[in-house]
Amino acid sequence: MPPICLAPDVMLRFFGLGPSASSTSQRCFRSALPPPSSSSSAYLRSSGARATMAPMSTVDTNKEAAHVREQSHKSSPPQPQVAKRLEKFKTTIFTQMSNLAIKHGAINLGQGFPNFDGPDFVKEEAIQAIIAGKNQYARGFGVPALNSAIADRFKKDTGLEVDPEREVTVTSGCTEAIAATILGLINPGDEVILFAPFYDSYEATLSMAGAKIKSITLHPPDFSIPLDELNAAVTTETRAIFINTPQNPTGKMFTKEELEFIANLCVKHDVLAFSDEVYDKLAFEAEHISLASIPGMWERTVTMNSLGKTFSLTGWKIGWAVAPAHLTWGLRQAHSFLTFATSTPMQWAAAAALRAPESYYEGLRRDYKAKKTILVDGLKDAGFIVYPSSGTYFVMVDHTPFGFPDDISFCEYLIKEVGVVAIPPSVFYLNPDEGKNLVRFTFCKDEGTLRAAVERMKQKLKRNWRRGARQQKQLSGLRGMAWRLSLAMVVVLAFTIWLFSTRNSLVVQDIDVSKLWGTAPSTGWRPSAAPRSFWASPPSNSNGFLRVRCNGGLNQQRSAINPPRDAPLSWYTTFALDKIKKHGAIYLTPFSHRLAEEINVPELQRLRCRVNYHALRFKPHIMKLSHDIVNTLRSQGHFISVHLRFEMDMLAFAGCLDIFTSKEKELLMKYRKENFAPKHLVYKERRLMGKCPLTPEEVGLILRAMGFDNTTRIYLAAGEIFGGERFMKPFRSLFPNLENHNTVMGAEKLEDNARGLVGAAVDYMVCLLSDIFMPTYDGPSNFANNLMGHRLYYGFRTTITPNRRALAPIFVDREAGRAADFEERVRGVMFAGSFGGPRERVHPESFYTNSWPECFCQVSAKRKEDRCPPDNILQVLENRLRNEVKTDGNATKTFLLD
């Protein structure tokens, strides 16, 4: 492949001087769908529940029936509709519980809202605000008085001083703070870690954002975090960890050690934290600790809260998010389009509420503690296993002493037979089975209500539980049969899926390849190759300037300028610059690969990025042609570019001869003899070592095994394919939509092709801009290596890098007829790698394929060396240099920015 053509400004940049580049109640009323039937199967989250959701009519008389039939002839009733991303949330478990509660006159200890009113002084403020005419749209991010009150309370609670104007956003309840945070800061495909059981809106909102949810399950009795599991769950794909402390529904409060563990992970992996602290003032057994107050966390945490729980005004829906300005930016963007602003008079009243003296919160806690005691003691007396709850107004219990198979059947029984409503918590888990032994009760009810509920449970539940168990026993015979039938069905289903998957090569279980069309999550990193310090003093054995070693490797490029070894700066600023001016560009061969060898100094690495990526410009007509090709291809959708290095020079160099005819072999050997040093190469060994470029067919097989179907469009960056159509045919049969620069633009457009270089330059740009790039030989290929690094630098663009060594035995087996699990094995190799996000460079990986972390920075970084330099960094450095020269005349010292 040709060397890279550098435009005049490259030289300046090269020297580092150029531009641098529910509550349960909400769940109840959230669904607009008609309620499902009361059979317990309607509670299921699965699509099975959907059938029961269709509107039903109960018709008693023939006349009415005839009328209904007549009407339905005219127009069939509209079916409930919901977008796919919310389909699974169609469950109306809370509505069901409420409906049953009303029907059976049950006492409601399910829904998390107080059955008593908020304080008069707050209500009075709201009335006064309305009378005073504070009734028009409020400022989008909150009325100033409320922003200040929130900032003051936050300071009191956490010790952190926040800017009420830039770091506090008032939202419509904490629910909106959650939505704005997620929608404003999470990209589709980002991984977010939740702790199950979790408040229901997290999962639904994350689904709306297209996030990938990873759930860590907290187990009773203490619901502590399985630290190893959490540690393993955080990867480079993780964008945020979402906590809720004190936690609904468990009442767990995250301990300082747990918060510190989370903080360490967040800092280490540059992960954001979202902390829902709506129950912060309902902490009974421990002191509430805000995650943002843990060292290193403020700059990466969004803390969410609301007025509802603390002031018993859940219907007002006043909430807020406190976050550093750079995160507030994203969440405010979402807030602007979700609700824009929140009820004005209620905000004024909320401001007054938050100025309440400490004694208000003490009284609140005292009252709730008394209520908690009534409930907890009563539940224990009634025979439940009660788990400790440190905060919130919820208590989790284990219902299994009563012999019911799951939480839903127990809650149904509790309503119908005992007259008390509780919440089955399986809906708070990604895997509902994990919550099937548990039940959640709330004590945010007046003491009379709590006592009455407890009495019912103590009397009826105790009296009836044997009956419940007996019923259970009778049922279990039937259930056993049903269970066996279900098992049989599962086996049949699994077999069918297996059959289907073995016959259909496009079923990929491991990774959703459609996600690969997008760029990888940046997790806060962005490219920046700007210098951060002055150059270090030159080593004593150099000529006083940066040593640049350019050793030409591509003997075809005889017209290129070869800088003399250790060329002084003046060589570039005089001789080379003259040539650049004269010709518009010069070739410095091969500049990309050997800027200098083995010098692993971050400042020098950044210089390499400035040269290789930042400054890389082709002549205007090449840039135009490339963009035209990309635009034409993109107008039809996504496309993959494949650097198909199946060319004579490469095959001869690699010594991969056996697949060719004897005539072709002869040609390759001749080329090898003329151009490379003699070496005895055994094809099979070379292949198993991963030294052979992939054949076109192998490329096709890999992409198909990964899940790309035959409609996928592929742009081939390739010279002349050795062996021609004989090798291309199998590839084309797998992927008929193959393009190259000639097929897209027409051959005449590339007529001014200077020794193939225009085509190669155009190919480089198209590969750079394509949605997915796949090299087939990254060995000594500057083209592929530079592209891999360039695409990473250019915004973490997906690159599929086949591990040829790991794939070789799979291909060998296939050729020998052992192809049974071919695709599975290929997927195993392909999905074990990464596709382009920030990832530590691992020796012997080349800096040119992965310049992370040197050439990247973080806007909000904990470590000084990761922090993005200011935009005017060059000016800053120059000023310092001048001052330094003035004071001690030593211009070559190294100064790190602070």
Using the minimum distance from each CB to ligand PLP, give the nearer residue, 52 or 248.
Answer: 248
Query: What's the burial of 115, exposed, middle or buried (CB within 10 Å: 0-12/13-18/19+)?
Result: middle
Using the minimum distance from each CB to ligand PLP, give the nearer residue, 314 or 849.
Answer: 314
- Smallest gap from residue 174 Cβ to ligand PLP (A): 4
Calculate the CA dihedral of residues 377, 413, 474, 491 and round it to 10 degrees.
-110
197 preceded by cis ω (within 30°)? yes
Using the minimum distance from each CB to ligand PLP, give the nearer residue, 276 or 649.
Answer: 276
**At residue 838, what are phi and psi to the nearest 5 degrees?**
-60, 130
- Smallest gap from residue 633 Cβ to ligand PLP (A): 46
Task: Show Cβ contacts of residue 771 under 8 Å, excluding neighbours closer than 6 positions.
Answer: 517, 518, 638, 639, 640, 797, 798
**At residue 188, what are phi and psi to the nearest 5 degrees?**
-55, 135
Query: Residue 283: helix, strand or coil by DSSP?
Result: strand
Task: Tell me the C-alpha distance between 499 and 855, whole Å.
Answer: 48
Task: Tell me the C-alpha distance between 158 and 298, whole Å.
Answer: 10
Using the minimum distance from each CB to ligand PLP, give the nearer residue, 315 or 833.
Answer: 315
- Smallest gap from residue 306 Cβ to ligand PLP (A): 3
- Smallest gap from residue 419 Cβ to ligand PLP (A): 24
Contact 249, 428 (CB under 8 A): yes
Nearest one of 712, 718, 720 to 640, comparing CA atoms: 712
Q: Output the six-digit token pair for 484.
A: 């066996």
Task: Tell me the C-alpha distance between 89 and 80, whole Å.
Answer: 13
Using the minimum distance from each CB to ligand PLP, give the nearer residue, 308 or 696.
Answer: 308
Using the minimum distance from each CB to ligand PLP, give the nearer residue, 248 or 301.
Answer: 248
Binding site for ligand PLP (CB under 6 A): 22-23, 112, 173-175, 199, 244, 248, 276, 278, 306, 308, 314, 317, 319
Using the minimum distance from each CB to ligand PLP, give the nearer residue, 109 or 174.
Answer: 174
DSSP string, 594-648: -SSSS---HHHHHHHHIIIIIS----HHHHHHHHHHHHHHHTT---EEEE----H
Using the minimum distance from each CB to ligand PLP, give the nearer residue, 353 or 657.
Answer: 353
- Smallest gap from residue 286 Cβ to ligand PLP (A): 17
Query: What's the burial of 654, exposed, middle or buried (CB within 10 Å: 0-12/13-18/19+)?
Result: buried
586-587 and 5-6: which strand pairing?
A: antiparallel
- Smallest gap from residue 319 Cβ to ligand PLP (A): 4
Please list the alpha-helical segments (H only) found in 35-119: 48-51, 62-74, 93-104
What are 715's strand-pairing partners?
641, 739
Helices 757-769, 620-634: inter-axial angle, 10-degree rounding: 50
Using the minimum distance from each CB to ligand PLP, give the nearer residue, 110 or 700.
Answer: 110
**At residue 848, what are phi and psi to the nearest 5 degrees?**
-75, -15
Query: What's the burial of 496, exposed, middle or buried (CB within 10 Å: 0-12/13-18/19+)?
Result: exposed
Using the minimum distance from each CB to ligand PLP, give the nearer residue, 306 or 612.
Answer: 306
Using the minimum distance from each CB to ligand PLP, give the nearer residue, 177 or 877.
Answer: 177
Cα distances (Å, whole numbers) of residue 815 to 342, 699, 726: 67, 15, 17
Determine how many CB atoms are found less than 10 A away from the CB of residue 283. 20
Using the minimum distance from each CB to ligand PLP, give the nearer residue, 174 or 209.
Answer: 174
Cα distances (Å, whole numbers) of residue 109 to 446, 447, 453, 772: 11, 12, 8, 54
Task: Tell me the C-alpha distance between 814 and 769, whole Å.
Answer: 34
- Smallest gap from residue 392 Cβ to ligand PLP (A): 7
Using the minimum distance from each CB to ligand PLP, give the nearer residue, 347 or 612.
Answer: 347
- Smallest gap from residue 605 Cβ to ligand PLP (A): 45
- Smallest gap from residue 88 Cβ to ligand PLP (A): 20
- Smallest gap from residue 161 Cβ to ligand PLP (A): 25
Contact 426, 434 (CB under 8 A): yes
Nearest one of 580, 587, 531 to 562, comparing CA atoms: 587
Task: Tell me the C-alpha distance between 64 and 459, whole Å.
Answer: 45
Please list the alpha-helical segments (H only) found in 509-596: 569-570, 577-583
- Smallest gap from residue 151 Cβ to ligand PLP (A): 19
Using the minimum distance from each CB to ligand PLP, give the nearer residue, 26 or 449.
Answer: 26
Cα 775-781-784 angle, rounded to 5 deg: 35
- Smallest gap from residue 202 Cβ to ligand PLP (A): 8
**At residue 863, what are phi and psi to the nearest 5 degrees?**
-80, 135
- Smallest gap from residue 22 Cβ to ligand PLP (A): 5
Please list the alpha-helical segments (H only) found in 415-461: 447-456
- Smallest gap from residue 316 Cβ to ligand PLP (A): 8
- Smallest gap from residue 599 Cβ to ligand PLP (A): 53
- Smallest gap from residue 244 Cβ to ligand PLP (A): 5
DSSP state of 461: I
Task: Show Cβ contacts of residue 230 under 8 Å, excluding neighbours closer than 6 positions.
Answer: 193, 216, 261, 262, 265
What are 385's strand-pairing partners?
398
Distance of CA 722 to the CA centre of its chain: 42
Using the minimum distance from each CB to ligand PLP, give the nearer residue, 113 or 777.
Answer: 113
Using the minimum distance from each CB to ligand PLP, give the nearer residue, 317 or 741.
Answer: 317
Using the minimum distance from each CB to ligand PLP, give the nearer residue, 344 or 785.
Answer: 344
- Smallest gap from residue 114 Cβ to ligand PLP (A): 11
Using the minimum distance from each CB to ligand PLP, give the nearer residue, 94 or 852.
Answer: 94
- Smallest gap from residue 309 Cβ to ligand PLP (A): 7
